[in-house]
Amino acid sequence: MERPVKEYNFKGGIINGHIGGRYLDDDYFWPILERAQALNASIYLHPTPLPQSVVKTSYAGNYPPEIAGLLASAAWGWHIETAIHISFELF
């Protein structure tokens, strides 16, 4: 993130809401978040497919799996995931 911000005047970077089952509150991501803060750079939180355990627990129901997949992504789940990340940033 440092090179694009300093050399090319980028305003920030992009990251998915979770990677490999790790969410952004995991210590693993702290160096990235700290670097963004040090650079005064924004991070665009991009939605990504939810882990299947979350889809099964929160979105599966008495309807076809395709509907659960849609609910877990663009229809609802991505919005909820992003809102949760933002909520934690406020506190």
For 13-72, what is each residue's pLDDT tens digit?
Answer: 999 888 887 888 899 999 999 999 999 999 988 888 888 888 999 999 999 999 999 999
Residue 78 in this model has a pLDDT that exceeds 90? no
Give pTM, 2 decimals.
0.70
Q: Are residues 20 and 59 in the same domain?
A: no
The answer to whether the CB of 61 falls within 8 A of the CB of 68 is yes
Task: Specify whether 37 is located in the same domain as 60.
Answer: no
Q: In 1-91, at which residue ranges do the beta strands (DSSP E only) sit?
A: 12-16, 18-19, 22-23, 42-46
| Amino acid present at 69 | G
Q: Are residue 42 and residue 61 in the same domain, yes or no?
A: no
Task: Select from 29, 46, 63 the last residue of a domain.
Answer: 46
Q: Is the dihedral of CA 30, 32, 35, 36 positive or negative?
A: negative
My answer on whether 75 and 53 are in the same domain is yes
Could you tell me if 42 and 55 lie in one domain? no
CB atoms < 10 A from the CB of 84, how many? 14
* Domain span at 67: 49-91
